[in-house]
Amino acid sequence: MSTPGLPISELLSLLNSGKLTAVDLTQACLDQISRQDARVGAFLSVDPAASLEQARQIDKRRARGETLGLLAGLPVAIKDVICQKGTVTTCASRMLEKFVAPYDAHVIEKLRKADAVLLGKTNMDEFAMGSSTENSAYQVTRNPWDLERTPGGSSGGSAAAVAAQMVPLSLGSDTGGSIRQPAGLCSVVGLKPTYGRVSRYGLIAYASSLDQIGPFAQDVRGTALLLEAIAGADSRDSTSVPKDVPRYSQTLEQPLQGLRIGVAREHFAPGLDPEVERSVREALRVYESLGATLQEISLPHQKYAVAVYYIVAPSEASSNLARYDGVHYGHRAAQFDSMVEMYSASRGEGFGSEVKRRIMLGTYALSAGYYDAYYLKALKVRRLIRNDFDAAFQQVDLIATPVNPTPAFKIGELVNDPLAMYLSDIYTISANLAGIPGISVQAGFSSGGLPLGLQLLAAPFEEERLLRAARMLERETEWHRRRAPLAG
């Protein structure tokens, strides 16, 4: 196992004892990127000089005995949808190819305060619109477990970077499953926080009522530590909730007594791969052996989640992306004869096909004569989906589901079938619509050696419970100890 692939607790112990320096750890990450990323394509940009200088300053402060932050010396990769001052932030789009962020996102400020080393920007589906990281304008990211397969999306670069041991921690964003889905396909841990738990200030918007920033790590402890570092209220984000942030990493080892886990019958319908179902059922049996009780529940409006999502999210995208017109922001075409042509050519050249598809879907749903029939109705059903979860959490503490309906699919397999691609998020979308937290944790492997994940969902702001429950499973199994063949 390479140094960046060591458990976070071990890395911190080595750093704090002086047996490992932040410079050495950062250099090990850079070396692993140099060895592996030409095949994986996880990173869009890396700044070795800047990251090594950050690491040197942390080592100097540690040598002087100064009090350091929560992540002191740990390298973190950043999804390229999050603004980092002085760094090109492209959203994997030609539209923002030359955009240099003039400020730090709130989470970047928090990482700096926690003394993390900012290693580089990771690849993604353009403007976070996709489930396979094939929609990037720059490169395709591959799954470290099988280079012919997708790592999932849209945060595929962040998940693949951790799975390939290029970096111990990374940040992604989750609008309909974009953290949990790639975490499940790459055998890492990924958590979508409650809407409002982590500030969206500096996150380039896709769908503002759905987007959330969250952590990836090789294990649950790393995920807890990174969430602890980035969570908290921010006055610059009006949707940020002023709640105290628990010490997630301090309570992680406390088992949950009398845990009640809900199993929704709607999550085990036709279309679910038998091996995925088997892995989820086996994980649930582990919980039963630890004293948890399983209870069948119903989420009757779950069947509408995909349809609701693909009205609400594209509608918000249509509005948010209107600013990229060749005047205010982004790419401007070189050839045009009028202002209208300039707008048309600039957006036509700057946006990829999936972004265009979703802008058109959203614009149609918001147009006169269709707003009530589509967008307004979708908002009403969204409320019913949240009501289903509220009712379920009166009966159970957590809900367990698959993360993905199948193991990782091959690159190119679904790219020309948008509906099939959209259905790959069928188990994750509803958590974003309801604003509740969810985590993906390793739950086994297919007969072909591909990772399979378990998703746990909780009531709003119950991330601590999610993490403790995920850690219970992790302690009892060995799945999280297996490493991708590419990572060695």
Per-residue pLDDT tens digits for 158-217: 999 999 999 999 999 999 999 999 999 999 999 999 999 999 999 999 999 999 999 999
Give the closest residue to 457 by CA, choosing from 304, 316, 299.
299
Name residues whose C-beta falls within 8 Å of residue 65's C-beta, 6 or more positions apart in sequence: none
CATH of 3-257, one of 3.40.640.10, 3.90.1640.30, 3.40.50.300, 3.90.1300.10: 3.90.1300.10
Phi then psi for residue 235, to 5 deg, are -65, -15
Q: Would you tell me how many other CB atoms lie within 10 Å of the CB of residue 257?
A: 8
Candidates 240, 163, 162, 250; CA nearest to 202 is: 240
Q: 51, 136, 154, 315: which is the annotated catalytic residue?
A: 154
Catalytic residue among 178, 187, 199, 318: 178
**pLDDT band for position 372 (50/70/90)?**
very high
Q: What is the pLDDT of residue 265?
A: 94
Contact predicate 201/258, CB 8 Å: no
Closest by CA to 203, choosing from 167, 239, 169, is 239
pLDDT band at 487 (very low <50, low <70, confident <90, very high): low
To the query of whether residue 298 is one of the catalytic residues in this protein, the response is: no
Note whether 28 and 78 are within 8 A (CB). no
- 10 Å CB burial of residue 283 (0-12, 13-18, 19+) is buried
pLDDT tens digits, 275-329:
999 999 999 999 999 999 999 999 999 999 999 999 999 999 999 999 999 888 7
The size of the chain, in residues, is 488
Mean pLDDT of 56-80: 97
| pLDDT on residue 3 | 87
What's the mean pLDDT in 257-272? 95
C-alpha to C-alpha distance for 432 and 336, rounded to whole angstroms: 40
Mean pLDDT of 121-127: 98
Nearest-angstrom CA–CA distance, 261 and 467: 14
Q: Which residue shows structure tokens 């249509």?
A: 318
Rounded to an integer, the average pLDDT of 252-264 is 95
Query: What pLDDT, on a 0 to 100 scale, did the predictor assign at position 328?
Result: 80
| pTM for this prediction | 0.97
Confidence of residue 391 (pLDDT cuts 50, 70, 90): very high
pLDDT score of 347 more than 80: yes
Active site residue 430: no
Q: Is 154 a catalytic residue?
A: yes
Question: What pLDDT is recorded for position 488?
Answer: 56
pLDDT at 383 over 80: yes
Nearest in space to 119 (alpha carbons), one of 76, 58, 86: 76
Distances (CA, A) of 292 to 17, 200, 257, 365: 38, 35, 8, 44
Give residue limits of the domains in the chain.
3-257
Per-residue pLDDT of 28-63, as tens digits, reads 999 999 999 999 999 999 999 999 999 999 999 999
Q: Tell me, what's the pLDDT at 255?
A: 87
Check whether 386 has a pLDDT greater than 70: yes
Per DSSP, the residues of 90-121 read -TT-GGGTTPBPSS--HHHHHHHHTT-EEEEE
